[in-house]
Chains A and B, each alone.
Chain A
Amino acid sequence: MKIVKNAVAGTLESSDAYVQVEPNEAGIEIVLESVVLTQFGDDIKASVMEVLAENEVTNAKVSVNDRGAIDCTIRARVETALKRAQGDL
């Protein structure tokens, strides 16, 4: 999947996450803010990387502002943002 434009998914409500995807020249860049950074920061980054790999994204900047979303929510928001960023949706 090629990221061609900026796109977002999600909200800043408690228990949700706001995900922004932008085109990137070289590789993957993840920026994470989270209310549970200490408790789940590594897990969230790992999940984002997995969703990127599943969608064969190799160049993208992904910014996640997490308000305490559970794992399936994080994955769903990232996936939707990626799809929007390639122009399908």
Chain B
Amino acid sequence: MSKLIGSIREAIEACGLKDGMTISFHHHMRNGDYVLNMVLDEIAKMGIKNITVNASSVFDTHAPIIDHIKNGVVTGLECNYMGAKVGKAISEGVMENPVIFRSHGGRPSDMEKGTSHIDVAFVAAPTADNRGNMTGKYGKSACGSMGYAFADAYNADKVVCITDNLVEYPVVGFSIPEVYVDHVVVVDKIGEPSGIVSGTTKITKDPVGLKMAQYAAKVVKASGLLKDGFSFQTGAGGATLAAAKYIKEMMLEDNIKGSFGMGGITKYMVEMLNEGCFKALIDVQCFDLDAVESIKNNPNHMEVSASQYAGVNGSAVNSLDVVLLGATQVDLDFNVNVHTDSNGYIMGGSGGHADTAAGSKLAIIIAPLVRARLPLIVDRVTCITTPGHTVDVVVTQRGIAVNPNRPELKEKLVKAGLPVVEIDELKAIAEKITGVPKPIKLDESKVVAKVLYRDGTVIDTIKKVVTE
């Protein structure tokens, strides 16, 4: 039976959306997404208030949500990542209730446990049929994997599929099956395909970045994990991609047959798959169009849900050997912050950071020792995204610090001739260049965001910034 309905407004009415309910969105259209804004505008026009938005990520393109917050349409916001534009407004206290941050694994796990309830999920679908089978692999707005949308579709009370490419039943190779879907709406455009490509999916040419990448690759080799069956995840940052390139070269040279590459997938990971470095790619989200093409055509490039990727009760992160991650701050206890910038403004979030650090055998942070006069290493991070006991190594261009809870690893790195130093030495080297920064002032009485660790416990809170 067809589930087609005439408009977003009719779908909202049919779902019985009321004041105080929670709605959800996935972020596979990334900074090109139209759906979140379209739905919120409609909700505002209908006079519905007091809505909580649970979006797997909030990008700059979602800045209109700030007005919906000011008007009382949106009074709660939950996400795994928040771009700087909305982050600034939240940091300055635009919303009364604190934002709830989760990780990519924590979000679906909390839905499964029932601690995070979704009344209506609005799922942007690059291709769908009239009964709600959907996939991200085809269509003018193709995004590849729809990994983050599975939890919403499986767990929400009502599910609305919003597509700009309705095809004849059934969608071949669907991701989310019709059984979870209540209504299907066709719109002109669900997003801007160029917006799904992350701005950072290019290998760095910066000599500092390349040096860090070389160190990181040597750390992986020295760890002893780089052998047949190797599994690996890297983000889309320029230096981590460069490290992936060096690791690929080592794998090809020594004829190492890895098990899987995982994560947000870029063309560099696709190349590693195609050149035989891995048996498979485990893909929760595609970062570029090469990844979208690959997941469509190569059966070894597998789409997985966020739950299978990083969920708390056993997921692929637990089978991961090595993950390369970034950081805005690292402290003397190896805690990592990727939520706030050096002035305390929200400009990020865990994504899979905390999940992969916890699950992997070797979690490597790569970051420059100094950025714009600010030392990477601080006494205490402004916000704990990822707890220090799950972080193994911090690689900078001036030296490599190993977590004291990994003495055997430290020994291996020293033996390999790598420049291993204590973390407080790294801090001292940086401060010799920059001077000692004065602490920033935050309004300790006003919490603007709570950060939930992947198990659902509050790991830290983010305070309101003090504006002049």
- List A residues at the B interface (Cβ < 8 Å): 14-15, 35-36, 38-40, 42-43, 67-71
- Residues in A neighbouring B433, C-beta threshold 8 A: 70
Q: Is the interface of A mostly helix, strand, loop or mixed?
A: loop
Asked if A68 contacts B438 (CB within 8 A), the reply is: no
User: A15-B371, A36-B373, A42-B438 provided; 14 other pairs, C-beta below 8 A?
Assistant: A14-B372, A15-B372, A35-B372, A36-B437, A38-B438, A38-B440, A39-B342, A39-B438, A40-B437, A40-B438, A68-B372, A70-B373, A70-B434, A70-B435
Q: Measured between alpha carbons, how far is A43 from B440 in the docked complex, in Å?
A: 15
Q: Contacting B372 at CB < 8 Å: which of A38, A42, A67?
A: A67
Given contacts A43-B435, A70-B434, A71-B435, contact A36 B374 (CB under 8 A): yes
Inter-subunit contact A39/B372 (CB<8 Å): no
Binary CB contact string for chain B from 106 to 136 against chain A (1 if under 8 A, 0 otherwise): 0000000000000000000000000000000
Question: Which B residues between 421 and 457 are near A, CB-CB below 8 angstroms?
Answer: 433-435, 437-441
Q: Is A40 a contact of B441 with CB atoms below 8 Å? A: no
Q: Decide yes or no whether B343 CB sits under 8 A from chain A.
A: yes
Q: List 27 A-B contacts (CB under 8 A).
A: A14-B372, A15-B371, A15-B372, A15-B373, A35-B372, A36-B372, A36-B373, A38-B343, A38-B438, A38-B440, A38-B441, A39-B342, A39-B373, A39-B437, A39-B440, A40-B373, A40-B435, A42-B438, A67-B372, A68-B371, A68-B372, A68-B374, A70-B370, A70-B373, A70-B433, A70-B434, A70-B435
CB–CB B438/A69 < 8 A: no
Least CB distance, A72 to chain B, in whole angstroms? 9
Count the B residues whose beta carbon is within 8 Å of the partner chain — how many?
15
What are the 6 closest A-B residue pairs judged by CB atoms, nearest first? A68-B372, A39-B437, A68-B373, A38-B440, A36-B373, A14-B372
